[in-house]
Amino acid sequence: MSADGKIAGDDRTQVRISSDEDKTRVKGLRKQYDSILVGVGTVLADDPHLTLKDRDYDTNPVRIVLDPHGKTPDDAQVLNDRAPTVMVTLEGCARSWDCDEIIRAGKETLDLESVMQQLADLGIENILVEGGGKTISSLFRARMVDRYTVFVGGLVIGGKDAPTPCDGDGWVAENGIKLTLEDCEMLGNGALLTFKPFYE
């Protein structure tokens, strides 16, 4: 996020926030995880491919998209053949994609417990969540976040409507979710903060 706590412009377009050092860190981080997860809002805004250039289909992490209403277009980069993709949608969503797996869980809203169980059944043991704010908020709300890392870059984006790392519908818990700061590291013109949540 930027130094004023935004993760994109107020028109939801991507802004370069990471330093070169942070980009290298994110690449290293992706290599440590079985899977990378984003919400459909990020797919629609940024069209990310979520792959590592030096890896192929068999060695890239699995890409997971939370898309309850089936909005991901067929030509989205996240559906390309560079890595396996799991689409997650509602039970009643008729949409289907040319991808490796489609998980359907929940009637009105996504049943995240069921989603995690079905992902575990596919052999996925850990997930790197890369955003956006609504997705991160829903995972905090479900008390499923076990580490929160945020790079704070040296720029101000501004705009009261610009997305932030934890958006969604207001408070994720009555008094917020408490975090313990585990580490703080300078990475070029910014700082990487690592927090561990504790749920009361």
Ligand X SMILES: NC(=O)c1ccc[n+]([C@@H]2O[C@H](COP(=O)([O-])OP(=O)(O)OC[C@H]3O[C@@H](n4cnc5c(N)ncnc54)[C@H](OP(=O)(O)O)[C@@H]3O)[C@@H](O)[C@H]2O)c1
Q: Where along the sequence are the contacts to ligand X (CB under 6 A)?
A: 7-8, 12, 14, 17, 38-42, 45-46, 66, 68-69, 71, 109-110, 112, 130-135, 138, 163, 167
Backbone angles phi, psi at 23, to 5 degrees: -60, -40
How many CA atoms are closer than 13 Å to the CA of 190, on its beta-carbon side? 23
- Residue 110 beta carbon to ligand X: minimum distance, rounded to whole angstroms: 4
Position 36, amino acid: I
Q: Which is nearer to ligand X, 110 or 177 (CB)?
A: 110
Q: Which is nearer to ligand X, 130 or 190 (CB)?
A: 130
The per-residue b/e assignment along 80-92, b for 16 or more CB within 10 angstroms, e otherwise, is eebbbbbbbbbee
Q: Which is nearer to ligand X, 83 or 128 (CB)?
A: 128
- Residue 58 beta carbon to ligand X: minimum distance, rounded to whole angstroms: 26
- Residue 59 beta carbon to ligand X: minimum distance, rounded to whole angstroms: 23
- Residue 77 beta carbon to ligand X: minimum distance, rounded to whole angstroms: 14
* Complete edge-to-edge strand list for the sheet that includes strand 148-153: 148-153, 190-198, 178-186
Q: Which is nearer to ligand X, 62 or 78 (CB)?
A: 78
How many CA atoms are closer than 13 Å to the CA of 199, on its beta-carbon side? 11
